[in-house]
A = this chain, B = another copy of it.
Amino acid sequence: MSDGGLKPKAVVLLSGGLDSTTCLALAIEQGFSTYTLAFDYGQRHDRELEMAAWQAQAQGSLEHIVVSLDMRKIGRSALTADIEVPKHEEQGIPATYVPARNAVFLSLGLAWAEVLRAPNLFIGVNQVDFSGYPDCRKDFIEAFERMANLATRMGTEGERVRIHTPLLELDKAEIVRSASRLGVDLAQTHTCYDPSPEGLSCGTCPSCRLRLKGFEEAQVQDPIPYESNPL
């Protein structure tokens, strides 16, 4: 018998990567019935979205939706407009670059949360590995939460909207350990920025390196295959 009706509802942003997949497992562990939301914003590879759908089903998300969002016109301005390209993207703006991304993704999550009347919203940000990103920091999350309560009917009608960030203070090794403890199948996650045409992770991009280092520190075997593994 399902007890889904008795549990508080939460919307979980789920990209199909290691962090958001672990975030989903932590939301479920905390007793929420979960609704998962992925974004199709012109990623170069479908593998992330496939992994998101796989994890949603495997972990028991009550509903999984993919919202299409064409950010190319916004992004293209960066290449044509008279602005300095940020230093951390010296190798060119990746196809996955989304300015103000967590504000955009959380707002769309908030829209769905409002429809579902689910005042809990989970996002797998962490400020340990991404301390340079303003929208991965606690003060951004707190400001978003405050805004969310004023932006919605549920917030202004007495339900408190909460943004949950269970990974906020975890490093990658702690995330890997949390996922292992909860039995998450990390073979079904995707992290690589630049996979081969067959979908094999490169092992050398910044995202792969961070992942591999996390598994190594956690002393857990990364179950996904790599083209090369520098560690």
Chain A residues close to B by CB (< 8 Å): 63, 65-71, 73-75, 77-78, 81, 83-84, 86, 98-104, 106-108, 110-117, 134-135, 137, 139-140, 143-144, 146-148, 150-153, 155-156
Contacts and interface: CB of A to CB of B under 8 A. Distances in A.
Contact of A114 (B70, B100, B152, B155): B100
A44 to B, nearest CB: 18
A140 B134 contact: no
A134 B146 CA distance: 13
Contact of A65 (B68, B77, B78, B83): B77
Given A67-B73, A73-B67, A77-B112, A103 B107 contact: yes
Main secondary structure of the interface of A (DSSP, over half): helix
7 contacts: A67-B69, A77-B112, A103-B148, A104-B111, A134-B151, A140-B147, A144-B151
Contacts of A115: 74-75, 77-78, 81, 83, 99
A103 B70 CA distance: 17
B150 A134 contact: yes
Closest 8 CB pairs of A and B: A99-B114, A143-B147, A68-B70, A107-B107, A140-B150, A100-B111, A103-B151, A65-B73
